Copies of this chain bind each other. A is one copy, B any other.
Amino acid sequence: MVGGGAGAFIGKVHRDAARLAGGVELVAGAFSSRPTKSREDGILLGLAPDRAYASWREMLEGESARPAGERADFVSICTPPDLHFEIARACLAAGFDVMCEKPLTRTAEEAEELLACARRSRRVFGLMHPYVGYPMVKLARDLVAHGELGRVAKIVVVYPQGSFRRIDWTKPLTPRQQWQRDPKRHGVSGCMADIGVHAANLAEYVTGLKIRQLLSDMARFTNGPLDDDGAAFLRFDKGARGVLLASKVATGEANPLRIHVYGEKKSLFWRQDNPDALTISSPFAPAETWTRGSAYVAAASPAAARATRLPAGHPEGFVEAFANTYRNFCDTIRAKRARRKPTGLESDFPGVREGVRGMRFVEAMVASAGRGNVWVSV
């Protein structure tokens, strides 16, 4: 693991989720750009001292030097975005499979290059969009794919967060707050690169359609050079349209990412703060609430069934969604090592291709707003 040291929220989720996914153990890491802290955090996390590295470069060297069966199986990259590209490329070059936090890179160009590296290296590359790891999101995708909604006409995806409204501007910003607001580290976008990409990925995952064009409106309500709020009109494949909203200044909101997909026959609705439910509405019949863990869900979606740990009525949450992504990523690695093609269920996790799409989406959002709200291809 690189980054995500003691105190970092997402690093801990990666570790918890990977453990929950089964068969994954943290064996080596570099957790900070400061060598001493990097090593100390490693020790704190229970690593053997010789695998609590001072830097990610040292880690790659050290692990590569170990005999085949004793080196780390893959690398999880949880650093701020500016380091993703370089580290991921180096990992691939050194022959490691990679799980990377989003956004994949700072630019679409870097993302494309990473895609090329990944292809050349034939390594497995995972990108952490945890929301598509929720069982009911997988069910949603399968119901759409099976034509349950009819032809998809309209998609509304909304990701409202109030995190920037909780910042006390009279105090120094935390490191995370700093790099989230620094174009050199976070890239050309704030809100869109941070959470807009999740919304876009969710919409594409559930519908199986790609965003082909968008027209955006971006805003900056708090200090700093990057957007903290925005919206877009979307054009998908096959004539579907959509609207995307994402905000870091949605005062008082926690994290209620949600999606509506309106088909010609039925519609679906899912929201992250009630993740075990999926609602299917119809003009001609009662609305249906599908519940994770039920036999009828398993029958309709093997992917949802596979992503389910607990019976209906025992809530699952974010860490399980994360773990589901890790599990499929790991099973794909296992399949490749066993020299077999991973099944569709195993390869069901976002990867470098989704990362390229995400960065193109981010750049298109910025470009559309920058050029006076015009249509831009994604």
Contact = CB atoms under 8 A, between A and B. Distances in A.
B233 A373 contact: yes
A267 B243 contact: no
A286 interface: yes
A361 interface: no
Contacts of A273: 276, 313, 315
Contact of A267 (B229, B252, B311): B252
Nearest to A247: B154
Question: In the complex, which of the residues A262, A276, A295, A316 has the most CB atoms of chain B within 10 Å of its own CB atom?
Answer: A262
A280 interface: yes
For chain A, the bracket of interface size reads 35 or more
A217 interface: yes
A264 B316 contact: no
A49 interface: no
Contacts of A286: 280, 288-291, 294, 296
A25 to B, nearest CB: 9
A291 B256 CA distance: 12
A47 B282 CA distance: 41
A312 interface: yes
Nearest to A158: B156
A55 interface: no
A20 B285 CA distance: 29
A287 interface: yes
A266 B251 CA distance: 6
Interface in A281-306: 281-291, 293-296
Contacts of A156: 158, 245
Given A243-B245, A319-B316, A252 B296 contact: no
B313 A161 contact: yes
B255 A312 contact: yes
Contacts of A16: 20, 309
Interface in A102-116: none
A315 B315 contact: yes
Contacts of A231: 233, 243
Contacts of A161: 313
A352 to B, nearest CB: 25
A162 B153 CA distance: 12
Interface in A30-83: 46
Contact of A284 (B249, B254, B255, B296): B296
Contacts of A373: 215, 233, 373-375
A164 to B, nearest CB: 9
14 contacts: A23-B46, A153-B249, A165-B283, A215-B215, A217-B241, A251-B264, A252-B282, A252-B287, A253-B313, A273-B313, A285-B288, A310-B317, A314-B318, A317-B317
Given A247-B262, A250-B262, 12 more contacts: A16-B309, A19-B19, A19-B20, A154-B221, A166-B295, A251-B282, A252-B262, A252-B267, A252-B280, A253-B267, A284-B295, A315-B317
Interface of A: 9, 12-13, 16, 19-20, 23, 46, 149, 153-154, 156, 158, 160-162, 165-166, 215, 217, 219, 221, 229, 231, 233, 241, 243, 245, 247, 249-256, 260, 262-267, 272-276, 280-291, 293-296, 309-320, 373-375
